[in-house]
C-alpha cells in the first residue's frame, strides 16, 4: 500500500469562451468520439455541470473509475482535481482506474457515496479513433434519471467557467491512501468488493464442482473491463482451467475490437460454441461489464429468453431461494418473462429502454429481477445490469440441474411456449434518412389500426409512453409499436447510444404456444413480419442497406 501527503493545491477558475451545445446525455450517459472529448475544456465542462447538479457534494464521497478505454486515466486525473475544487470529501477510485459498471454500483451503495462517475462508452469501440463516455450514477447506485441528466445538460449550455485545482497526478498503480488538499483519495482494488458480493449470492462450491467435472467453458472478456473479474472468479476461485477466460487484459482500444457481446462482434466465441463441440458453456461481456451473452454447446440463448429462464429457475440460487417479489423488462424485450411471472403469480412491469427506468421499482422492492433484450440482466443486488452476475447465475442453474443449456431451453419452451424474437440493427444510417423513416412511420400509426400485416391484423399502433408506478413521472416517445391481433409485434426505435449517424433498431416478436413448432430458426419463424415491416417502413429503400448490420 502506498500513501502520499496532502499536496498544497492551488485552485483556478477557468473561463469558457463559448459554452458547448452538444453535451446532452443519451440512453446511458454522454457518449462522443474520443476526439470530441479531447477538445480543450470539453470533459471539464460536463464534469463542472455534474458537480453543480449532484446533491451532497460538500464533504460527500464519490466513486470513480472506468472500463480502461483510451482517455480513462486522463479523465480520472481531471475529475479528481475538479472534485477537490468542489469540496468533495473523499473519492474512492481503483487500481489502473479499472472498475466495471456493476462493481461501481455496488461500491456506491456499500460505501454510502453520494454517487459515482463511470468512464465508459460501454459497448462502443474505444481508442483514439473510438468513443469515450461519462455516466453519472446516483446515491442508490443506479443511473441518474432524466430529470438529473436534463439539468446537467441545461447547465452546460450556459456554462462560462469551471473550477479545478492544480495537483500532481495520483498514482493508480497500487492500492493506497492519498489526498488532494483536504480531499482524501482512496485507491482500492476494484475487483475485491464485487467478488465478495457474488459469493454471498451464489453457491460457489456447487459451481466449482460442476466446472471440475468435464465442463469446459470459454469466457470472452473482449479485452475490456471484465477480464480481471472473470479471471479471479472463474479461474481463480471456481477452478476453470487457465485460459478459459479469453482476451482477459483490458486494452485502451479493446484490441481494436467492438466490445459488444453479440453474434456479430463476439463471433469468435460464438463459433467456438456453435460450430464445435469443445465447450459446454460460453459467455461474453461488454466494454463496461454490464452486458452478457450466454451460449451453450450449439445453442445461443436469446437475452429475452435468458431473463425468463433466470426467473423460472431463480430459487436455485441462494440469494433468490425465497422467491422473487416481481420482475420487469424493457418494452422491446420479448414477453417470455411475462408468461413465467404469470405462472409464478408475481408482478411484471414493462418499462422504456435503459436501466434507469428499473431503479424506482428496485428501490421500492417491487421487483427482484429485470432485464433488456440488449444482453442486459440484473437484480436488486446492485442498480445496474450485471454481466458476470448473469454468467454466474446460469452456472448456478447448470450446477443444480446438471443438464445442458440446450436442454434447459427446450424444457423451458415446452413448459411456457416460445417467443420467437429477433432484433435487426441498421447502424450508422444517415441521420436524415433514419429520422425520415421514423417520422413517416409514426405519422402513419393511427391509420394502421385494422389493416392487414404479415397475414394478421394490426390491433393497435402507438408510440410507447410510460408512467412510472412509483413516482408517476411520465416518459413519452419511447418507440413505435405495431401490435398484431395474435400477440405478435414489431417495434422500431432510434438508438440513443450511437455516435455515428443514426442507428435504427427493429424488434420482432411472435409467440408460439407449447403445442406449436418450438424448433424453428427465428429468422424463418419471423420471415413474414420481416418482409412486412421492410415494405411498410421502406427500410431498404430509405437506408440503402440490403441487410441489417447486426442480427440478434
Binding site for ligand VG1 (CB under 6 A): 27-28, 122-123, 286, 288, 290-291, 330, 353-355, 372, 374, 376, 495-497, 505
Over its C-alpha atoms, the chain yields an Rg (Å, rounded) of 23
- d(C-alpha 506, C-alpha 239), whole Å: 41
Smallest separation (angstroms) from ligand VG1 to the CB of 90: 26
Distances from the Cα of 372 to the Cα of 72, 306, 327, angstroms: 27, 10, 11
* 488 versus 497: smaller Cβ distance to ligand VG1: 497
Task: Give the distance from CA 102 to its chain's centroid.
Answer: 9
Q: Is 288 one of the binding residues for Co ion (CB under 5 A)?
A: yes
CA distance 459 to 303: 27
CB–CB of 465/479 below 8 Å? Answer: no
Give the nearer residue to ligand VG1 in terms of CB position, either 399 or 491: 491
The option from ligand VG1, Co ion, none interacting with 246 (CB < 5 to 8 A, set by class) reads: none
- 8 Å CB contact between 163 and 11: yes
The question of whether 334 is a catalytic residue gets the answer no
The one of Co ion, ligand VG1, none whose footprint includes residue 28, by CB under 5 to 8 A per kind, is ligand VG1
Which does residue 137 bind out of Co ion, ligand VG1, none, counting CB within 5 to 8 angstroms by kind? Answer: none
Minimum CB separation of residue 364 from Co ion in Å reads 25
Query: Whole-angstrom Cα distance, residue 404 to residue 457?
Result: 39
Distances (CA, A) of 339 to 57, 306, 325, 380, 510: 44, 13, 15, 21, 13
**Cβ-based nearer residue to Co ion, 285 or 399:** 285
Among 290, 305, 373, 425, binds Co ion (CB under 5 A): 290
Shorter beta-carbon distance to Co ion: residue 23 or 120: 120
Given ligand VG1, Co ion, none, residue 374, with its beta carbon under 5 to 8 Å by kind, binds ligand VG1
Using Cβ positions, the residue closest to Co ion within the complex turns out to be 122
Rule CB under 5 A: is residue 422 a binding residue for Co ion? no
* 496 interface partner picked from ligand VG1, Co ion, none, CB below 5 to 8 A per type: ligand VG1
Which of ligand VG1, Co ion, none has residue 27 at its interface (CB below 5 to 8 Å by kind)? ligand VG1
Name every residue whose Cβ is closer than 8 Å to that of residue 355 and which is 6 or more positions away in sequence: 28, 142, 143, 290, 372, 376, 378, 383, 384, 385
Measured distance CA(305)–CA(482) in Å, rounded: 21
Q: To 10 degrees, the CA torsion angle through 200, 206, 212, 213?
A: -150
Stretch in the footprint of Co ion (CB under 5 A) among 59-67, 174-182, 278-286, 483-491: 278-286
Asked if residues 44 and 78 have their Cβ atoms less than 8 Å apart, the reply is yes
Grid coordinates belonging to 368: 427482484
Going by their DSSP bridges, the two strands 550-551 and 480-484 should be labelled as unpaired
Nearest approach in angstroms of CB 516 to ligand VG1 is: 28
Is position 373 an interface residue for Co ion (rule: CB under 5 A)? no
Q: How many residues bind Co ion (CB under 5 A)?
A: 5
CB of 289 to Co ion, least distance (A): 7
Using CB under 5 A as the binding rule, whether residue 131 contacts Co ion is answered as no
Please state whether beta strands 480-484 and 489-494 pair in parallel, antiparallel, or not at all (unpaired).
Answer: antiparallel
What phi and psi values does residue 33 have, to the nearest 5 degrees? -65, 155
Nearest to 129 by CA among 500, 549, 504: 500
Interatomic CA distance for residues 65 and 102, integer angstroms: 11
Query: Cβ closer to Co ion: 288 or 338?
Result: 288
Q: Which does 495 bind (CB under 5 to 8 A by kind): ligand VG1, Co ion, none?
A: ligand VG1
DSSP string, 361-383: HHHTTS-SEEEETTTEEEETTSS
* Chosen from Co ion, ligand VG1, none, partner binding at 355 (C-beta under 5 to 8 Å by type): ligand VG1
Closest separation between CB of residue 330 and ligand VG1, Å?
6
Which residue among 28, 100, 122, 488 is the active-site one?
Answer: 122
> Which part of the chain contacts Co ion (CB under 5 A), choosing from 3-11, 117-125, 268-276, 335-343?
117-125
Shortest reach from residue 41's CB to ligand VG1, in Å: 25
Least Cβ distance, residue 259 to ligand VG1 (angstroms)? 9
Sign of the dihedral defined by the CA atoms of residues 45, 47, 53, 57, in that order:
negative
* Residue 233 φ/ψ region, left for φ over 0, alpha for ψ in the -120 to 50 degree band, beta for the rest: alpha
Q: Which is nearer to ligand VG1, 48 or 286 (CB)?
A: 286
* d(C-alpha 231, C-alpha 159), whole Å: 44
Is residue 122 part of the contact set for Co ion (CB under 5 A)?
yes
Name residue, grid cell 414477453: 335
**Could you tell me the smallest distance in angstroms from the CB atom of residue 99 to Co ion?**
13
Nearer to Co ion, 122 or 262 (CB): 122
Query: Which among 122-130, 239-247, 409-417, 493-501 is the span making contact with Co ion, rule CB under 5 A?
Result: 122-130
Pair 434, 500: CB distance under 8 Å? no
Close Cβ partners of 527 (under 8 Å, ≥ 6 residues apart): none
Residue 207 or 230 having the CB closest to ligand VG1: 230
Nearest approach, Cβ of residue 209 and ligand VG1 (Å): 32
Q: Which of 286, 373, 386, 425 binds Co ion (CB under 5 A)?
A: 286
Which grid coordinates belong to 182? 483536504
Give the binding range for Co ion (CB under 5 A) out of 116-124, 155-163, 467-475, 522-530: 116-124
- Strand, coil or helix: what is 60? coil
Closer by beta carbon to ligand VG1, 172 or else 336: 336
> Could you say which of ligand VG1, Co ion, none residue 203 binds, taking C-beta under 5 to 8 angstroms by partner kind?
none
In the complex, the residues that contact Co ion under the rule CB under 5 A are: 122, 286, 288, 290-291
Active site residue ranges = 122
Amino acid at each position: 500500500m502506498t500513501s502520499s501527503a496532502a499536496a498544497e493545491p492551488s485552485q483556478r477558475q477557468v473561463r469558457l469562451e463559448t459554452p458547448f451545445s452538444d453535451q446532452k446525455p443519451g440512453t446511458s450517459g454522454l457518449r462522443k468520439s474520443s476526439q470530441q472529448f479531447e477538445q480543450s475544456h470539453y470533459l471539464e465542462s460536463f464534469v463542472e455541470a455534474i458537480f453543480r447538479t449532484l446533491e451532497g457534494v460538500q464533504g460527500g464521497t464519490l466513486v470513480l473509475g472506468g472500463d480502461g478505454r483510451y482517455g480513462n486515466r486522463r479523465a480520472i486525473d481531471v475529475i479528481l482535481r475538479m472534485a477537490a475544487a468542489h469540496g468533495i470529501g473523499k473519492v474512492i477510485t481503483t487500481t489502473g482506474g479499472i472498475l466495471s459498471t456493476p462493481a461501481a454500483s455496488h461500491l456506491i451503495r456499500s460505501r454510502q457515496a453520494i454517487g459515482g462517475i463511470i468512464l465508459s462508452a460501454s459497448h462502443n469501440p474505444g481508442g483514439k479513433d473510438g468513443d469515450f463516455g461519462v455516466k453519472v450514477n446516483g446515491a442508490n447506485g443506479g443511473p441518474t434519471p432524466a430529470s438529473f441528466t436534463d439539468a446537467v445538460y441545461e447547465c452546460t449550455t450556459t456554462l462560462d467557467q469551471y473550477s479545478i485545482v492544480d495537483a500532481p497526478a495520483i498514482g493508480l498503480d497500487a492500492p493506497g491512501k492519498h489526498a488532494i488538499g483536504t480531499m482524501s483519495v482512496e485507491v482500492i482494488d476494484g475487483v475485491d468488493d464485487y467478488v465478495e458480493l457474488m459469493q454471498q449470492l451464489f453457491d460457489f462450491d456447487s459451481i466449482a464442482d460442476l466446472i471440475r467435472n468435464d465442463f469446459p467453458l470459454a469466457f470472452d472478456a473482449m479485452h475490456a473491463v471484465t477480464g480481471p473479474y472473470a479471471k479471479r472468479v472463474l479461474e481463480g476461485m471456481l477452478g476453470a482451467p487457465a485460459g478459459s477466460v479469453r482476451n482477459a487484459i483490458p486494452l485502451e482500444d479493446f484490441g481494436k475490437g467492438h466490445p459488444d457481446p453479440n453474434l456479430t462482434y463476439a463471433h469468435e466465441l460464438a463459433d467456438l460454441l456453435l460450430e464445435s463441440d469443445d465447450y459446454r458453456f460460453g459467455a461474453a461481456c461488454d466494454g463496461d461489464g454490464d452486458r452478457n451473452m450466454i451460449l451453450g454447446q450449439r445453442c445461443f440463448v436469446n437475452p429475452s429468453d435468458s431473463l425468463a429462464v433466470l426467473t423460472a429457475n431463480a430459487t436455485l440460487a441462494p440469494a433468490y431461494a425465497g422467491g422473487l417479489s416481481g420482475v420487469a423488462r424493457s418494452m422491446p424485450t420479448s414477453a417470455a418473462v411475462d408468461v413465467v411471472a404469470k405462472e409464478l403469480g408475481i408482478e411484471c412491469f414493462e418499462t422504456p429502454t435503459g436501466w434507469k427506468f428499473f431503479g424506482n421499482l428496485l428501490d421500492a422492492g417491487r421487483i427482484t429481477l429485470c432485464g433488456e433484450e440488449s444482453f442486459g440482466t440484473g437484480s436488486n443486488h446492485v442498480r445496474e445490469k450485471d454481466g458476470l452476475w448473469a454468467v454466474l447465475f446460469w452456472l448456478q442453474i447448470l450446477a443444480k440441474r446438471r443438464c445442458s443449456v440446450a436442454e434447459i431451453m427446450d424444457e423451458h419452451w415446452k413448459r411456457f411456449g416460445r417467443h420467437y424474437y429477433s432484433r435487426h440493427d441498421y447502424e450508422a444510417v444517415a441521420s436524415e434518412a433514419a429520422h425520415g423513416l421514423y417520422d413517416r412511420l409514426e405519422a402513419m400509426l393511427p391509420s394502421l389500426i385494422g389493416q392487414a400485416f404479415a397475414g394478421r391484423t394490426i390491433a393497435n399502433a402507438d408510440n410507447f409512453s410510460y408512467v412510472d408506478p412509483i413516482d408517476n413521472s411520465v416518459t413519452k416517445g419511447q418507440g413505435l409499436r405495431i401490435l398484431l391481433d395474435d400477440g405478435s409485434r414489431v417495434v422500431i426505435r432510434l438508438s440513443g447510444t450511437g455516435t455515428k449517424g443514426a442507428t435504427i433498431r427493429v424488434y420482432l416478436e411472435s409467440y408460439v404456444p407449447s403445442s406449436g413448432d418450438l424448433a424453428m430458426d427465428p429468422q424463418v419463424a419471423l420471415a413474414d413480419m420481416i418482409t412486412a415491416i421492410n415494405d411498410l417502413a421502406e427500410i431498404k429503400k430509405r437506408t440503402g442497406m440490403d441487410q441489417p448490420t447486426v442480427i440478434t
